[in-house]
A and B are shown apart, each in its own frame.
Chain A
Amino acid sequence: MGKAWYEIIQDIDRRIIYLVVFLVVSIPFFLSIRAPMEVGPPAQHLFDCVENIAAYNKTAPKEKIVLIIPEWDPAVQAECKPQTRAMMEHCMKRGVKFATMSWFYPQGVELAEKVAEECEKKYKKKYGVDWVSWGYKPFSLATFLAFIKDIYTLVEKDSKDTSIREVPLMKNVDSLRDVGLVFYVSGGSGIGYYINYALPEIGFSIGTGCTAILGPEMRPYLDSRQLVGMMEGMAGAAQYEKLLEFKEGRGTRGMGSQSFAHLWIIFTIALGNVGYLVHRRRLRKAQKGE
């Protein structure tokens, strides 16, 4: 005797599920699906922080810079790259200078440099004047504490091997007190070092771009205002792109795939549960009948 319908929908072949996931993720990349994305408070607050720095720089005698920490590798670049790009484009658009460096991922800063090079062409900005790369520095707590105390003890040359004191942008940067915002983009949790050690000492704002899976972990820091704002996963990048009034950024485009993938997961969960509940009901009825 064949399986009943409620048993079949509880046990769909995993290859069918994989195939549909593949289709719902890949097809939207070739279609231009534009759905309105609502901007949440975490992305809005991060955006406002950069805007405030831009406004401050217009009147203040000494400019503040943004320090972008790209602690990501190709594994999480689907989420972290659009976040890094959105922040870099915002800085360049508003004339806020930025530096970039990484502690845990040597490839992170290299990948971020490529993003910055793409952005500088778009906004006609120049390396060394509008942005600089401090390169990769292997992490240890002592090194990090020394960096907080004096960035020049650790950063002697930029990633292009130029003496850091000769980089025009750095002439305006004496210490981390000249950093208005640290933007930590990561799929890991190294941001704790900035929150625990750098924030009490320096007092700058810290924002984060994180993978969606890390978002819940970051919420207590947002609640306590230790984090000024956040781009949470690809949705966070898409929200930020909306604030930047991009017609179609990488994050916004990726949301089409994410939307359909979520809908498919919800559909399969619902299907499995309908089968399970009907099955349970029939079993109970049969038991009562006995």
Chain B
Amino acid sequence: MRRTIIILITFIGGLYYFLNFVLPQETPLVPFLTPDIKFSDAIEEIGRVTLVIGVFAIFLGVINLSRLHLGRISRRRPGWYNSVALLTAFAAMFTFQLLKTYAPSEWGDKFQSLLFDHMYAPINSTIMSLLAFYMASAAYRAFRIKSGEAAVMMFIALIVMLGQIPIGQLLTSGLKGAEGTNPWYSYLRLEVVREWFMGVWNSAAQRGILFGMVIGAFALTLRIWLSLERGSFFDREL
């Protein structure tokens, strides 16, 4: 019974979104009976409902995270001090953000700024910036011309990298024609060739990937909508 209800709600929910997208905005909810109530009017209420569900999901996530880490601390599991750091950081950020919003004060704002602007932001940026180091090292170790395809790829990568930076653009800046003219050799400038690779070849490849993804997503959506999808959650007895 429960399963049937879930299948029904999933189907009706999916059907509403589908019809809302394809029907004209002025279509009444029930033709001839409710000319003033439009089919798309319900989207505002559905929006509010999904927001409430989303908030519940966040709330559950917080409870789950706290339980997990409190358990690790109480049982002194290896690395328990990391859990202490996580819960302390979470509690501090949560408290001072709430204070900033609902009871603003000078010292509260200062603490919030200390946590967000002077701790969270630099840590977040630092972690991301490590990518530059890993990418440089990985490119050096992995990028070897072992085949014709690898040679082509390297040639294009070289143009794309050089065409993006001012120093690279400077290398072919002499190929510009006089003001207002576009001689044939001006198309050999690095930034122009880069734009051609990105705009033509890359676009074609991206479009191909996109088509593949959309077809896959469409098939998956249909399976979920019609409750045909089978997986760890869908097969569980409800």
Could you tell me which A residues sit within 8 Å of B by CB distance? Answer: 12, 14, 17-18, 21-22, 25, 35-38, 40-41, 73-78, 107, 138, 140-147, 149-150, 153-154, 197, 201, 212, 215-217, 219-220, 222-223, 233, 235, 238, 255, 258-266, 268-269, 271-273, 276-277
B44 at the interface (CB under 8 A from A): yes
* Shortest Cβ distance from residue B49 to the other chain A in the assembled complex, whole angstroms: 8
Separation of A285 and B146 alpha carbons in the complex (Å): 17
Interface status of B62 (Cβ within 8 A of chain A): no
Give me the 6 closest cross-chain CB pairs, A-B, nearest first: A35-B166, A74-B121, A143-B47, A140-B50, A142-B47, A75-B128
In the complex, chain A residues whose CB is within 8 Å of the CB of B48: 143
Assuming the contacts A145-B43, A220-B210, A259-B165, asked whether A107 and B116 have C-beta atoms less than 8 A apart, the reply is: yes
Encoded as 1 (CB less than 8 Å from any A CB) or 0, chain B from 95 to 117 comes to 00000000000000000000010
Taking a contact as CB atoms under 8 Å apart, the answer to whether B124 and A75 are in contact is yes
B166–A40 CB distance below 8 A: no
15 contacts between A and B (CB under 8 A): A35-B165, A36-B166, A36-B169, A37-B169, A140-B51, A142-B47, A145-B20, A153-B44, A154-B47, A215-B198, A217-B206, A235-B165, A262-B164, A263-B167, A269-B143
Q: Is the CB of B50 within 8 A of A143?
A: yes
Kindly list chain A residues whose C-beta atoms are within 8 Å of the C-beta of B158. 266
User: Which of B28-36, B80-88, B131-139, B230-238 contacts the other chain?
Assistant: B131-139
Is B199 in contact with A74, judged by CB distance below 8 angstroms?
A: no
Contacts of A18 in B (CB 8 A): 133, 136-137
Is B127 on the interface with A (CB-CB < 8 A)?
A: yes
Contacts of B47 in A (CB 8 A): 140, 142-147, 153-154
Chief secondary structure at chain A's binding surface: helix
Q: How far is the CB of B210 from chain A (nearest CB, A)?
A: 6
Q: Beyond A145-B20, A265-B139, is A40–B195 a contact (Cβ under 8 Å)?
A: yes
Q: Are the C-beta atoms of B51 and A138 separated by less than 8 Å? A: yes
A201: B residues at CB distance < 8 A: 25
Chain A residues positioned under 8 Å from B137 (CB to CB): 14, 17-18
Complex CA–CA separation, A186 to B135 (angstroms): 21
Q: Is the CB–CB distance between A235 and B164 below 8 Å?
A: yes
Pair A265/B50 contact, Cβ less than 8 Å: no
Q: When the two chains form their complex, are residues A149 and B164 in contact, meaning their CB atoms are under 8 A apart?
A: no
Q: Is the CB of B191 within 8 A of A40?
A: yes
Q: A12-B140, A268-B140 are in contact. Are A216 and B166 (CB under 8 A)?
A: no
Q: Are A262 and B140 in contact (CB under 8 A)?
A: no
Q: Once bound together, how far apart are the Cα atoms of A141 and B51, in whole Å?
A: 10
What 1/0 mask marks residues of chain B from 114 to 155 whose CB sits below 8 Å from any chain A CB?
001000111011011100110111011101110000000010
In the bound assembly, the distance between CA atoms of A264 and B140 in angstroms comes to 10
Tell whether A149 pairs with B44 under 8 Å between CB atoms, given A38-B191, A74-B120, A261-B132: yes
Query: Chain B nearest CB: distance from A120 CB in Å?
Result: 19
Which of B46, B120, B128, B202 is in CB contact (< 8 Å) with A219? Answer: B202
Q: A38-B191, A276-B144 are in contact. Are A74 and B50 (CB under 8 A)?
A: no
> How far is B164's CA from A262's CA once the two chains are assembled, in angstroms?
9
Beyond the given A259-B168, A271-B140, A273-B144, could you list 4 further A-B residue pairs with CB under 8 A, ordered by the A residue number? A140-B51, A142-B50, A269-B154, A273-B154
- For A233, what are the chain B residues with a Cβ–Cβ distance below 8 Å? 164
* CB within 8 Å for A273 and B143 given contacts A21-B132, A38-B169: yes
Residue pair B162, A262 in contact (C-beta under 8 Å): yes
From B25, B50, B141, A272 is in contact (CB under 8 Å) with: B141
Chain A residues whose CB sits within 8 angstroms of the CB of B49 once the complex forms: 142
Tell me which residues across on chain B come within 8 A of A38, comparing CB atoms.
169, 189, 191
Whole-angstrom CA separation of A185 from B201 in the bound complex: 25
Asked if B143 contacts A272 (CB within 8 A), the reply is yes
Structural contact, B136 and A261, CB atoms closer than 8 A: yes
Query: What 0/1 pattern do residues 37 to 48 of B give for CB contact below 8 A with A?
Result: 000100110111
